Structure 1
Amino acid sequence: MNIIILGAGQVGTSLAELLSDENNDVTVVDLDQGRLRQLQDRLDIRTITGHASDPDILLQADIEEADMLIATTQNDDTNIVACQLAHVMHKTPTKIARVRSPSFLNHPELFDRNQNTDAIPINVLISPESLVKDYILQLIAYPGSLQVVDFADSKVRILALRVRAGSLLINKEIRDIKNHLPAGIETRIVAIYRKGEVVMPTGSVRLREDDEVFFMAVPNAIPTIIKSLRQSKLRPTRNIMIAGGGNIGYNLAKELERQKHKVKIIDHNIERARIIAETLDETIIIHGDVSDKSLLVEENIDEIDLFLAVTNSDEANIISGMLAKKLGVKRVIALVNNQSYIDLIHLNSIDVAISADQITTSHLLHYMRQGDTVKAFTLRRGAAEAMEVIVHGSENTSKIIGKRIGEIDWPTDITIGCVIREDHVMIAHRDITIEAEDHVVLFLTDRSRAKDVAELFIPKEKTSWL
């Protein structure tokens, strides 16, 4: 695909890294020559220095040849105008804009051309702050989880857990796990990471302490599965402290209030603290430094069940998160965008480190996939990928329709998680026969296999697309 990325900030850079690795023709536009030079030194991309909403700059970026425009600058107006220009100048098929302002996000009708042909021509609006908020809320909903991803309109979920000491499942073979779950509870382990290495989840593999296990199940079954994987009953997440009262922290507190959690926010900016204090009803607002030990102790940090570090500074999030953990907080989630920082974080200090860039790129990933990919999401900080793909064609044109899962020559390093047929979720086993219009959710431990998967799902008469 020919893709133009406007903005070489964190999100734009993350997208460029992802897309250039997959043999796309990528052009990045930014005003900062230094950033562009650094990108071009590392990646096989083209860069152009200039303003993202300048028609001449878009022409220089070959907007006439672009399949996709992704506007990720820090300025909402620039991103919206750039998408409008791309539509007028070329009718660019897919236009994606990063938008932060609630004034735009609260009025989706401005961008819905199905309802109004005069609407702003943007196919997808992305708000990294909103995506991070939703991601964290999923982690809160399942205490102890490392990652939660929905598929098939939330009919099925992939959830990652670390196997703790004392779990009944330690040293049990995967094929025997069903014997340790209540009747009617179905799950499928789609991947295991052991000391950073992939362990393919065959029936004879035994779970070990500290394994990172990705399992798939319907939402109603997940709490029971979590309880079975843990060694003891988890402490309910009742008292939550949020470091940072920016867009993410504020919106998290707003939602957590509705869910009847007890919430405290610490922010260093007195004006911001006053503003959010006036708009939140139950949340306690504290003006101060999130890494001030005496302040945390004074605010009874030892009574906090969950500490969320979501300031605009990676360093502040890491330091405050590690301090909170040392002071007795059971669970710490920190927003850390710098990959090198994430690699240095000791697992015993911060339970979950999340990246706004990776969450955002994952949200857009299925637009870059071949075949009818409904959703694709990177896992383990981009090391793996989960996909939901629709099966099209007939037995005469498809390589998989009419065949049982066990008969199909799947690419190596993938696990089939489930098949969704209309509203029915079937946890995968080798005797399920694939039918046209089935949704198949699968896990790739090697993301480079995504193209091989697409080739299986695209009917013969459409292989010229590849």
Structure 2
Amino acid sequence: MHVVVMGCGRVGASLAKSLERLGNQVAVIDKDGQAFRRLGNDFHGQQVVGNGFDRQVLVAAGVERAGALAAVSSGDNSNIITARVARETFGVQHVVARIYDPKRAAVYERLGIPTVATVPWATDRFLRMLVPEGSATAWRDPSGTVAVLPLPVHEGWVGRPIAELQEATGCRVAFIMRFGTGVLPQPSSVVQADDEIYVAALSGTITEVTAAAAQAPEESH
């Protein structure tokens, strides 16, 4: 597959070299010709100097035959414009843009432009390494507002309704891994032994959610 990478910073250069090692044809665009030094002598792909959102530059980089494009420069505006031009003008099937502003990332996701929101992604990676096991998120939305995480629960929750767990923790049960199979909870669902429960919670409440789930449920009257 032919892949266009817009931006030859550390991320772009690393991505381009990795794509080439996987057998892809790669063209790299950067407005600074000196940036291509990061690719090293082993890189055999195309190097195009110019702005990635310039149609002529994209054509020179082979966008018309590209199966994918990654816009990973240091500028949010440049990345999203390049991604939209590639998708809407040239019909590139797989397009992704690197975005620093999480609010913008959420907007462009709704417009159908997949994004990698650098700040929320990096934050989540640090959390995975710093917080106790069980509190790390499995997924976080581009704005960093909602997280999906595995939720260990007190053994006292076995046999209790999912609805009670949600009420006690203030989160929503997204799905359950039960005997190796994903299960979407129903209103009548109850917690079973050995369930792996995944919940959706607002960022900033994860500590409270996990603490509440670790406590035994209150007895019903």
- The TM-score with structure 2 as length reference comes to 0.75
Deviation at 1:353, TM superposition (A): 2.7
Return the offset for 1:246: 1.6
CA RMSD of aligned residues (A): 3.2
Q: Can you give the 5+ residue segments of structure 2 that lack an aligned partner in the other structure?
A: 217-221
**1:405 Cα deviation from its structure 2 partner:** 4.6
- SS at structure 2 position matched to 1:390: coil
Query: How far did residue 260 of structure 1 move?
Result: 2.7
2:90 pairs, out of 318, 328, 334, with 328
Cα offset, 1:360, TM superposition: 0.8
Matched, 1:453 2:215: no
* TM-superposed deviation, 1:416: 3.4
Residue 337 of structure 1: CA displacement? 0.8
1:34-63 Cα shifts (integer Å, max 9, x gaps): xxxxxxxxxxxxxxxxxxxxxxxxxxxxxx
Report whether the alignment pairs 1:357 with 2:119.
yes
- The SS at the match of 1:308 is strand
Counterparts of 2:63 and 2:103, CA distance in 1: 28
Which residue of 422, 440, 459 maps to 2:197?
440
Q: Answer yes or no: is 1:298 the counterpart of 2:60.
A: yes
- For each residue in 1:418-463, what CA deviation from the matched residue of structure 2 results, as whole angstroms up to 9, or x when unmatched? 2366xx3442445464336x5322223x445535532342145xxx
Q: Which amino acid aligns with 1:418?
A: I
| Pairing of 1:377-396 with structure 2 (within 5 A) | 377-392=139-154, 394=155
- Picking from 97, 101, 104, the partner of 1:338 is 101
Q: Counterparts of 1:290 and 1:336 in 2: how far apart (Å)?
A: 15
Shift of the 294–458 alpha-carbon distance from structure 1 to 2, 3 Å rule, reads same
1:228-247 correspondence runs (5 A): 238-247=1-10
Whether 1:427 and 2:183 are equivalent positions in the alignment is yes
| TM superposition shift of 1:253 | 1.9
Do 1:277 and 1:285's aligned partners in 2 also have CA atoms closer than 8 Å?
no
Alignment-derived partner of residue 167 in structure 1: none
- Cα distance, 1:405–1:259 mapped onto 2, change above 3 Å: farther
User: Quick one: higher RCO (CA 8 Å, sep 6+), 1 or 2?
Assistant: 2
Equivalent pair of 1:375/1:389 in contact (CA under 8 Å): no
Q: Given the superposition, is the C-alpha separation of residues 342 and 427 from structure 1 closer, same or farther in structure 2, using an over 3 Å criterion?
A: closer
Aligned pairs (5 A) from 1:371-410: 372-392=134-154, 394=155, 398=156, 400=157, 402-406=158-162, 408-410=164-166
Q: Any residues of structure 2 matched to 1:40-439 within 5 Å, and which?
A: 238-276=1-39, 278-281=41-44, 283-330=45-92, 331-339=94-102, 341-342=104-105, 345=108, 348=111, 351-366=113-128, 372-392=134-154, 394=155, 398=156, 400=157, 402-406=158-162, 408-411=164-167, 414-419=172-177, 424-430=180-186, 431=189, 433-435=191-193, 438-439=195-196
CA shift, 1:352, in A, is 1.6
Instruction: Report the Cα offset of residue 358 of structure 1.
Output: 0.8
Relative distance call for 1:370 and 1:433 in structure 2 (3 A) is same
Are 1:374 and 1:389, in contact at CA under 8 Å, matched by a contact in 2? no
Q: Is the 8 A contact 1:405 1:434 kept in 2?
A: no
**Equivalenced residues, count:** 211
CA contact (8 A) 2:173 2:197 kept: no
Q: After the TM superposition, which segments of 4 or more aligned residues of structure 1 sit over 6 Å from their partners?
A: 367-371
